[in-house]
Copies of this chain bind each other. A is one copy, B any other.
Amino acid sequence: MSGLSRRGVLGLAGAGVAAVGIGAAAGVLASGEPAPAPRGPDPSAPVPFRGQHQAGIITPAQDRMHFVAFDVTTRDRGALVELLREWTAAAERMTAGREAAEGGAVGGSRQAPPADTGEALDLPASALTLTIGFGPSLFDDRFGLADRRPEALVDLPHFRGDDLDAKRGGGDICVQACANDPQVAVHAIRNLARIGFGKVAVRWSQLGFGRTSSTSTAQATPRNLFGFKDGTNNLKAEDPAALAEHVWVTEGPRWMVGGTYLVARRIRMHIEIWDRTSLAEQEDIVGRAKGSGAPLGQTAEFDPVDLHVRGAGGVPLIPDDSHIRLASAESLGGARILRRGYNFTDGSDGLGHLDAGLFFVCFNRDSRKQFIPMQQALSAHDRMMEYLEHTGSGHFACPPGLAEGRFWGDDLFG
């Protein structure tokens, strides 16, 4: 039994996809049209854990996400630092497709609890990334971090229409797990929670079943639960100049230089009401054609958005209260964000409907200048807001990536 390891065994879903390389995914459809661009790297392969920036930000968005926010329950600063060191080791192992700790699920003493929970034993790395962030509440008086709090890590303001559930927001520390196999993402969060037993408690968590954003030009644009392609104009990994301008922190405390700020919003979508609106109205609300994803007035998805084009009677083809106009850099003084959202479905709402929507995650260099003014514009004017309800919210400072030998938070606590 001790010979079993996640490195050595491929199985289940992993076996199905492991053999798919870039070439295998390319092809020509029966219609004679070329198939969409291949997805990029092998979806079962590992993503490097260490580097200049944390993985899971500009990494090509994996198919599934499990996001968790923890409350720190210990009051012992040293214990928290030790936990971050342990977490770093476990995260590095798991993102490489290994078990959470030496010995793993079955290789240790039979008389002791196993060092890994085992449900990912047969699964490959599945492009798992684990991305950590620190919330405003961590910088209170418990750990002596008050003077380390970045000015940009503000408490998010109330946005018009917010209906936030305190049990789905906030948290001292967040970890975003993304992977192409949900079992791998859930396993990672669960093992981090286990390692943190007695020091942290799960405050809230969210499973995203399908990605709604592309973060690489190699990825096709997915659809959200309104049926529209989402995030066509997202920042992409292949545009380092734009990332430097809009994502990576250069100011503030030293421990954040090279990092970025994560905003999470659980957005319930009232899909049943949306589904009763006409196609024309839906397209006017979004500002794009539902089929192709082309901006209104254009013909293809990636045609540049022209906010000035007018139709009959001089009416703007992209309405003044449409989503893409209000969210555009042109309307926001150049502000852009890196989106990394996921569709969710959490049972029913008790009123005869699915509880479904978008778990919105974005990264930006300064939420005060990017996400917040964007959300203020959207919450005040976006016609789509009639169909949305923001039910969860979080703001976290994600430090830069780790060089060899470093661990999560050592610059913050050091």
Query: Which residues of A approach B to under 8 Å, CB–CB?
Result: 1-2, 4, 8-13, 15-20, 24-25, 27, 29-31, 35-36, 38-39, 43, 63-64, 66, 68, 71, 73, 105-106, 108-114, 116-122, 167-168, 181-183, 186, 189-190, 193-194, 197, 201-207, 209-210, 220, 222-228, 271-272, 275-280, 282-283, 289-292, 343, 345-348, 350-354, 356
Contacts and interface: CB of A to CB of B under 8 A. Distances in A.
B202 A348 contact: yes
Contacts of A181: 210
Contact of A272 (B63, B194, B291): B194
A347 B205 contact: yes
Contacts of A183: 209-210, 222-223, 343
A31 B10 CA distance: 11
A182 B210 contact: yes
29 contacts: A1-B291, A1-B292, A4-B291, A8-B29, A10-B36, A11-B220, A15-B220, A16-B25, A16-B38, A18-B25, A19-B20, A66-B345, A68-B354, A105-B291, A112-B278, A113-B275, A114-B227, A114-B275, A122-B220, A167-B348, A181-B210, A182-B209, A183-B209, A183-B222, A183-B223, A190-B225, A202-B352, A207-B209, A207-B345
Contacts of A220: 11-12, 15, 122
A82 to B, nearest CB: 19
Instruction: Say what secondary structure dominates the interface of chain A.
Output: loop
Contacts of A345: 66, 186, 205, 207
Contact of A10 (B20, B29, B117, B168): B29
Contacts of A343: 119, 183, 186
Contacts of A2: 291
Contact of A119 (B9, B112, B225): B225
Contacts of A30: 8
Contacts of A43: 16
Nearest to A8: B31
A193 B354 contact: yes
B113 A347 contact: no
Contacts of A197: 272, 276
Given A121-B291, A291-B4, A24 B29 contact: no
Contact of A114 (B39, B201, B290, B292): B290
A71 B353 CA distance: 11
A224 B117 CA distance: 10
A117 B270 CA distance: 13
A181 B110 CA distance: 38
3 tightest Cβ-Cβ pairs between the two chains A and B: A118-B227, A201-B352, A1-B291
A210 B106 CA distance: 22
A207 B347 CA distance: 7
Contact of A348 (B203, B224, B352): B203
A35 B8 CA distance: 10
B36 A15 contact: yes
A280 B347 CA distance: 36
A194 B68 CA distance: 31
A1 B112 CA distance: 61
A283 to B, nearest CB: 8
A313 B73 CA distance: 46
Contact of A16 (B1, B4, B39, B356): B39
Contacts of A73: 352
